[in-house]
Amino acid sequence: MLSLNPWLTGLGLNSLLLLLAWLLPKKLLTPIGYFNAWILGLLIWATGGYRAYIVVLFYFLAGSLVTRLGLKIKEQKGIAEKRSGQRGPANVWGSAATAAICALATIFLTKNWHPLLWLAYCASFSTKLSDTTASEVGKAYGKRTFLITTLRPAPAGTEGAVSLEGTLAGIVASVAISLLAYALGLISALGIAWCILAALVATTFESIIGAAFQNKYSWLTNELVNVINTLIGAVVAFILGYLLGY
């Protein structure tokens, strides 16, 4: 029988954190964004406990921080995130829908699948933090940006454009969140490698999608591309863990 205790604990903890975040002078999310983050946090705590919760909290705080890196530079270029980086519900679920699915799956699948599901969960956030960091650092500090499909120079902020500075920063971000997940006991040492590799594969595909397709199809929004990106990262890590050991 599914215990109610983790859900009640998550309810109290998320409500307290929501109140504290609401009282801060600098808002990281829109009001409806906070409510959706509250739902996400409740789900993650109830299914994965404090370990999974710390991972998503780290992603949220680190992602919000890197979004503000070089904000004035990006605003001058006209490529800064809307609302000075404040995130709405579409941003919350665009980043965390895959992770939420992995967490929910632990309720319905037997425990022998849980290690791989939490590996996929961590890989999705490793992928998204890598993507966010690479994009934001590249837009602010990238000296030379290239379209990934042609390797021709492109303005910073162009869909599918990459830079050396952004790429390296993205790898560092994926390493950081993967090491955190390992320190928490959520993934194994081998899982660190799978998360980093999955993030690199997924962010590369995300850049290709952005360069080749995003401007051609209005329905291919940034949020949908984020879902695809994190899904690729989760699936790649899951397959690597299943086939090569975990």
pLDDT by residue, tens only, the chain of 246 residues: 455 688 899 899 889 988 888 887 777 788 898 899 999 999 999 999 999 999 999 999 999 889 888 777 776 776 666 655 577 889 999 999 999 999 999 999 999 999 999 999 999 999 999 999 999 998 888 889 999 999 899 888 788 889 999 999 999 999 999 999 999 999 999 999 999 999 999 999 999 998 999 888 888 998 999 999 999 999 999 999 999 977
| Structure confidence at residue 41 (pLDDT) | 94
| Structure confidence at residue 160 (pLDDT) | 86
| Structure confidence at residue 238 (pLDDT) | 98
Q: Decide: residue 165, CB within 10 A, 0-12 exposed, 13-18 middle, 19+ buried.
A: middle
Could you tell me the two tokens for 113? 């699948």
| Structure confidence at residue 1 (pLDDT) | 45
Outline where 24-113 has alpha helix (H).
31-67, 71-77, 89-108
| Structure confidence at residue 174 (pLDDT) | 98
What CA–CA distance (Å, rounded) separates 12 from 153? 50
What CA–CA distance (Å, rounded) separates 68 from 42? 27
Q: Are 71 and 141 in contact (CB under 8 A)?
A: no
Cβ density class 201-232: b for 16+ within 10 Å, e for less: bbbebbbebbbeebeeeeebeebebbbbbbbb
